[in-house]
Structure 1
Amino acid sequence: MTENILEVRNLKKYFTLGRGATLKAVDNVSFSIKRGETFGLVGESGCGKSTTGRTIIRLYDATEGEVLFNGKNVHQLKGKESKDFHRKMQMVFQDPYASLNPRMTVGDIIAEGIDIHGLATGKERMERVHDLLRTVGLNAEHASRFPHEFSGGQRQRIGIARALAIEPEFIIADEPISALDVSIQAQVVNLFEKLQKERGLTYLFIAHDLAMVKHISDRIGVMYLGALVETAGSKELYRKPLHPYTDALLSAIPIPDPDLSQARERIILQGDVPSPINPPSGCRFRTRCPKAMPECAEIMPELVEVEPNHFVACHLYK
């Protein structure tokens, strides 16, 4: 059995707001990722998937729970162990315009991690930068330019090169294609897949584009209002979604064939997403669920294995 490189156990991330209010952005989330695989994390905007990624990499401190990376709790690491962790785990951010320092050249942006970890200096440093630029489909002469001179797709490639510079094992890709033109999205996803094969990388791929997540992911986790409601293999999830929320999400994916599109029933969820400051009691999806039962208001369903490697948090599957 393949070793888990990452284990997330009962992770919670709460933000304290004014007047004593608490925003429960991530609430009791658990999942694991095997070495060398891609785990897709999907859900509506505001469901907590990006906060989950940022808490895993320690941009946020966890309120409760554990994040084990190579068997060590990342939120307890200090000194050299913490520095080593940040070398092994990197992040590609959603906005390629905001994530690059406009006052630094592309060469210095990519080499920042190399400098921090003392991996190379002088000529060797620049050779590494040039190799990384070529790896992501850019040219060596781009190293002397500034971020504003590039398109969105090129900037995202620079962000990927920066993440690769210190030879990480694990990359969190936080909606890395959502800010890009559709014509560029496929190129960036293909680049991710190519790099994974060449370098043996493991990905946590966060997105709301379900069709793209199916394409790149080995397994998928579905989040709703801070909680994980279903996890399964990519093909299994799309073939047989169990949770009513997953079913509704998948019904919204456009189908290029008009005949097939008309044959499939579109599930329209009623009402708005509740506030994570004051989520519903019991199952958080019950206020919009077409299959809600009285017990859904009283008991929060646990994520249980209903079929081999297919987990769902729903009272329909006791």
Structure 2
Amino acid sequence: MDNANSLLRVENLQVHFPVLQGFLLQRTAGTIKAVDGLNFALQPGETLGLVGESGCGKSTTGRAILQLVRPTGGNVYFKGRNLAQMEGEELRQMRRQMQTIFQDPYTSLNPRMTVGNIVSEPLIVYQLAKGKEKQERVEELLKLVGLNPKFINRYPHEFSGGQRQRIAIARALSVNPDFIVCDEPIAALDVSIQAQVVNLMQDLQEELGLSYLFIAHDLSIVRHISDRVAVMYLGKIVELAESQTLYTNPLHPYTQALLSAIPIPNPEIEAKRDRILLEGDVPSPANPPCGCNFHPRCPYVMDSCRQDPEPFLQDVGNAHQVACHLVNSEQGV
């Protein structure tokens, strides 16, 4: 992976939230390590899938990259410039090149604004168009996402969930961004609509040269849209590889367990397949276990998993990175 020419480069990204006690005289009683040392890069025109259980830090990662949540530590380089060190107008201008699509189209659109006003708001904020030019741009964007431009004066409640998400996509595209954080953009949609929205996003990516960070928990959708996939567990990336490599040869026990939960549409194969059932609950990010974070639930746990320092991502060949003592010892890393 060529980090030097990356569109986005994340180095040791950390987002920690203090746990406060007391009503008037609040004191810090602990720290929730929502994101704890992420390293990855994203190339122009690439889609990186980010998967993991609820609460593992996926959405916080996306918000920290856009500086909607300020990182506790680490750096985020976009086109070679460190976003973590920017503030005010400088950061606002950089955000024009980075947009986001939120999970729930029912809450991410202002119900008091018309579709035209919603889609044109970024154009007004960045003074990109006004008057007739602005209206023509909005109509162009609605056509681009598969909506009738005559809907420009309608309100969000007059649309279905899939149509609302198309409006949100049009809003994100209005300022011609290079990079979009897609925060579970199809999770709130009907299954029959999900594929349509994903196909639309792929068409737009090819047409406009977009790069996506695609956050999701549906592994089958992630496989369909992603060039590479990163698997998160308790604030850390435990495996990162090209999509085909990860799905055909998962090395980390957590990744293997996630993939074993995907149903296979063949009753005979599904009946013979062995599921990997993880025992116990996900540890608290306020009090992560010593050693490897995954060792309390790992079916292959060794003494070194409990006693040695946490494993870091190691390249095991073919741009496949894994953070696991067992895998690294077998690979001789």
Pairing 1:1-318 to 2, within 5 Å after superposition: 3-19=5-21, 20-298=29-307, 299-316=309-326, 317-318=328-329
Residue 228 of structure 1 deviates from its aligned partner by 0.5
Q: Which moved more, 1:258-267 or 1:221-230?
A: 258-267
What is the SS of the residue equivalent to 1:215?
helix
Aligned to 2:26: none
Q: Distance in 2 between matches of 1:29 and 1:244?
A: 19
Q: TM-score under structure 2 normalisation?
A: 0.94
**Which blocks of at least 5 consecutive residues in structure 2 are unaligned?**
22-28
> How far apart are the structure 2 equivalents of 1:290 and 1:28?
25
Deviations 1:81-120 (A, max 9, x none): 3122110000000011111111111111111110011111
AA in 2 matched with 1:230: E
Task: Return the alpha-carbon distance in structure 1 between the equivalents of residues 137 and 85 of structure 2.
Answer: 32
Distance 2:100 2:233 in 1: 23
2: CA distance, partners of 1:82 / 1:271: 42
Which stretch shifts more, 253-262 or 178-187?
A: 253-262
Cα distance between partner residues in 2 of 1:104 and 1:22: 39
Measured after TM superposition, the shift of residue 263 of structure 1 is 2.7
* Deviation of 1:78 (Å): 3.4
Structure 1: gaps spanning 5 or more residues: none
SS at match of 1:39: strand
Show CA shifts across 1:212-260 (max 9, x none): 0000000000000111000000000001000000000000001101122
> In 2, Cα distance between the equivalents of 1:82 and 1:152?
32
Structure 1 Cα separation of the partners of residues 146 and 127 of structure 2:
25
Once residues 75 and 253 of structure 1 are traced to their aligned partners in structure 2, the CA distance between those partners, rounded to angstroms, is 37
Give the residue type in structure 2 aligned to 1:119. L
- Counterpart CA distance in 2 for 1:188 and 1:131 is 18
Between the aligned partners of 1:87 and 1:261, the Cα distance in structure 2 is 46
SS in 2 for 1:82: helix
Deviation at 1:39, TM superposition (A): 0.2
- Residues 40-69 of structure 1 show CA distances to partners (whole Å, capped at 9, x for unaligned) of 000011110010000001110000000110
**Segment of structure 1 superposing worse, 196-205 or 274-283:** 274-283
What SS does structure 1 have at the residue aligned with 2:316?
strand
Cα drift, residue 80 of structure 1: 4.2
- The whole-number CA distance in structure 2 between the counterparts of 1:75 and 1:11 is 10
- SS at 1:185 equivalent: helix
Cα distance in 2, alignment partners of residues 71 and 205 from structure 1: 21
Partners of 2:118 and 2:229 in 1: how far apart? 32
Amino acid at match of 1:126: Q
Give the match for residue 24 of structure 2: none
**SS in structure 2 opposite 1:17?**
strand
Q: In structure 1, give the amino acid aligned to 2:177.
A: P
Output the amino acid matched with 1:195.
Answer: L
Please give the alpha-carbon distance, in whole angstroms, between the structure 2 residues aligned to 1:128 and 1:264: 52
Shift of 1:21: 2.2
Shift of residue 79, structure 1, vs aligned partner: 4.4
Corresponding residue SS for 1:180: coil
Secondary structure, aligned partner of 2:152: helix
TM-score (normalizing by structure 1): 0.98
The Cα shift of 1:308 comes to: 1.8
